[in-house]
Chain A
Amino acid sequence: MKRESTGIKKVDALIEGGFPISSVIGLSGPPGIGKSIFSLHFMLEGARKNQKCVYINLEEPKENIDNMIEEFEFKEEFLSFVKSKKIIIKCYDHSEFEKIYNNFFEKLIEEKVQRLVIDSFNVFFTSFFASKEIPTEVTISKMIHKTIGMLRKQGMATLLLLEKNKESYNIPYLVDGIIELDYLDLGTIERRLFISKMRWTDQYKESVPFEIGKKGIIVQDAS
């Protein structure tokens, strides 16, 4: 099976070389664990392969994303891809996103996007419904099901960032894979990455430790 590299070699090694091609992957974890940083690696890898990458953030202003990129050694390379529009970063608030939602998928096809990150997918639908009546759980679930189906159909490698402890609407069942980032605080913080699901893949079954440093996410050897 063809695979797309995650952008982090040691994570690729845990999933037989990368995400299955055209798959929709959930990346879940508590706030501040490193989901957005993981997505930077994902986009950087795509851009290096001459793929068009789009990052959509529905919660934070662009300045925050820019500041995040500045922290890392790969910032120059990353920003060069932003300049050449290989990587597109879009930050929307509710009202802005509502306006573009209806053409969202058409735009992705038109722009020939090959890697997509949605940060966070939990607010993706609440943004859409911001000025409309509150949807039922069934409505949201149906929309999610439809959206994931459409994303898969477009042939993009998609990373959906999911906030842990927020309503999941069965998203883990609908996506092709789930990578969980989590931490344990026993006086010292230890971060771990766990691949709880990856279709068509004999994934590594245990958790692996990781840290965040100047090079971004650094996965340690399994222990």
Chain B
Amino acid sequence: MTDNLKDFLFRKLFAPQVIIINQPGVIISKTTQKYGKSSSKRRMLFVFEDVCVAIQNALIKKTGETNTSSFYYKMGKDVGFYYMILSGTKKISSFLVETVIKYIFYTLSTVGQTFGEQVTIDVKKKYLCLKGYDNIISRKTKNISFFAGFSSGIFSYLLNENIEAKIITSDNEKKYTVIELSKINPFFYLPNVETIKKFIGNYEQNFPKPSKFRDVSSYKDLLKHKKIQIEEKGKNKLFGYSLLFTEVGFLALLVRYHLDNKYEKLLQNAIVSENMKIFEKITISKEKKDRLKFISSSLSALGWGIVEFNLYNDRIICNIKDCSMYEDFLYFQTYSIKGGLQTALKKEVTVKKYHFAGPNSAKIEYSL
């Protein structure tokens, strides 16, 4: 079948339409597609690239490059499967695999995940080669294992056959990477689909009815007010700091992996310290209440839910309305906010407890 006809069929019959719904606290990507569910929604958000970099670097420092690569490859592959399960993709005709693969990696490249900018694929031979430059996170950690695993997850899921990825080049100087997926690559890891489905649970619960009262900004507001800049290849920056645009489950899985492998302290320290550094640089207000307002408004605009603080003498309560219901992402939020609070209040705070106070409503208590 010619490429033109394939592309035509893909566009007319299968091509997804993506709409981004953005309101204060909540960012939703809605895709209508015909080869899977009729439409699928994803709860999206932004997170500072440097926080993800710090977490990976901390693991490299503690356990070494090889162990970290293995850890992140497996995590990436789980995320790849997670991504496909969420999209509701069922078995697709082999003649469309190439177009779907190119579409997926093209879409990712528009939000800074440029590891698959150039795609070479031979579906019959079950071969895929991804080349990219300046891919988010790996450009700073010099470790592309997560994205290699992720590609393997996507490709394997679509072909219904396990295909591992191999990193051919990761040119540290020029940030250029080549990932090759092929049947000849030895077996490394196979995700457990049931475990991932269990992790997803009832995904619909991540989409709250919008709250009526919103005294915080949206992503669109930050863009309009030029606090967010969009640079080449969709790289978003907030006050000069690069942002990763991702589905919330990726961060939840990142936390889950670290907790399951007993890297909790490492994770907490990396999240807190990096957020402290970032907020120190980007917060310009001098008054305490203004600094707290800065944190609540900026995190809300990044899609973390509507963040509000109540400050008492000995504690601070953070309420998050319209939040995602992934408990592991709440963990991530708790320690990220801790970093922001320590900068705003110029003192150490301790996480006392965090929990869901109701549907899409979370409460975090910090003691001062």
Out of A185, A194, A223, name the residue touching B297 (CB < 8 Å).
A185
Q: How many residues of B contact A (CB 8 A)?
A: 19
Q: Complex: how many Å from CA A184 to CA B294?
A: 10
Q: Complex: how many Å from CA A30 to CA B290?
A: 21
Q: Complex: how many Å from CA A190 to CA B239?
A: 15
B222 within 8 A of A: yes
Highest count of chain B CB atoms <10 Å: which of A184, A186, A190, A207: A186
Contact B224 A186 (CB under 8 A): no
A119 within 8 A of B: no
Contact A188 B285 (CB under 8 A): yes
Known: A186-B227, A187-B285. 14 other contacts (CB 8 A): A182-B221, A184-B225, A185-B215, A185-B293, A186-B297, A187-B284, A187-B290, A187-B293, A187-B297, A188-B284, A188-B285, A192-B224, A207-B224, A207-B226
Number of A-B contacts (CB under 8 A): 43
Highest count of chain A CB atoms <10 Å: which of B221, B222, B226, B297: B226
Out of A184, A187, A206, A223, name the residue touching B221 (CB < 8 Å).
A184
Q: Which residues of A contact B283 (CB under 8 A)?
A: 187
Q: 8 closest A-B pairs (Cβ-Cβ)?
A: A187-B290, A187-B285, A187-B294, A184-B225, A187-B293, A186-B294, A186-B297, A192-B225
Q: Which residues of B contact A194 (CB under 8 A)?
A: 224
Looking across the interface, which residue of chain B has its beta carbon closest to that of A191? B225
Binding site for B on A (CB under 8 A): 182, 184-188, 190, 192, 194, 206-207, 223
User: How far in angstroms is the closest Cβ of chain A from B19?
Assistant: 20
Q: Which residues of B contact A190 (CB under 8 A)?
A: 225
Q: Complex: how many Å from CA A94 to CA B319?
A: 42
Q: Which residues of A contact B292 (CB under 8 A)?
A: 187
Q: Which residues of B contact A207 (CB under 8 A)?
A: 224-226
User: How far in angstroms is the closest Cβ of chain A from B23?
Assistant: 12
Q: Which residues of A contact B291 (CB under 8 A)?
A: 187
Residues 237 to 285 of chain B near chain A (Cβ within 8 Å): 283-285
Out of B222, B226, B284, name the residue touching A206 (CB < 8 Å).
B226
User: How far in angstroms is the closest Cβ of chain B from A219?
Assistant: 15
Q: Complex: how many Å from CA A185 to CA B308?
A: 13
User: How far in angstroms is the closest Cβ of chain A from B330?
Assistant: 24
Q: Which residues of B contact A223 (CB under 8 A)?
A: 226
User: How far in angstroms is the closest Cβ of chain B from A74?
Assistant: 28
Q: Complex: how many Å from CA A223 to CA B226?
A: 8
Q: Which residues of B contact A182 (CB under 8 A)?
A: 221, 224-225
B57 within 8 A of A: no
- Taken residue by residue from 193 to 210, chain B's Cβ proximity to chain A (1 for < 8 Å, 0 otherwise) reads as 000000000000000000
6 A–B contacts from the bound complex (CB under 8 Å): A184-B225, A185-B293, A186-B227, A187-B293, A188-B290, A194-B224
Q: Complex: how many Å from CA A181 to CA B304?
A: 26
Contact A186 B226 (CB under 8 A): no
Highest count of chain B CB atoms <10 Å: which of A187, A192, A223: A187
User: How far in angstroms is the closest Cβ of chain A from B218?
Assistant: 10
Looking across the interface, which residue of chain A has its beta carbon closest to that of B292? A187
Q: Which residues of B contact A187 (CB under 8 A)?
A: 283-285, 287, 290-294, 297
Q: Which residues of B contact A206 (CB under 8 A)?
A: 226
Q: Complex: how many Å from CA A223 to CA B297?
A: 21
Q: Which residues of A contact B177 (CB under 8 A)?
A: none
Out of B227, B287, B290, name the residue touching A184 (CB < 8 Å).
B227
User: How far in angstroms is the closest Cβ of chain B from A184?
Assistant: 4
User: How far in angstroms is the closest Cβ of chain B from A148?
Assistant: 26
Q: Which residues of A contact B221 (CB under 8 A)?
A: 182, 184
Q: Complex: how many Å from CA A37 to CA B297?
A: 27
- Taken residue by residue from 285 to 305, chain B's Cβ proximity to chain A (1 for < 8 Å, 0 otherwise) reads as 101001111100110000000
B217 within 8 A of A: yes
Q: Complex: how many Å from CA A216 to CA B224?
A: 23
Q: Which residues of A contact B222 (CB under 8 A)?
A: 184
Highest count of chain A CB atoms <10 Å: which of B217, B222, B225, B298: B225
User: How far in angstroms is the closest Cβ of chain A from B212?
Assistant: 11
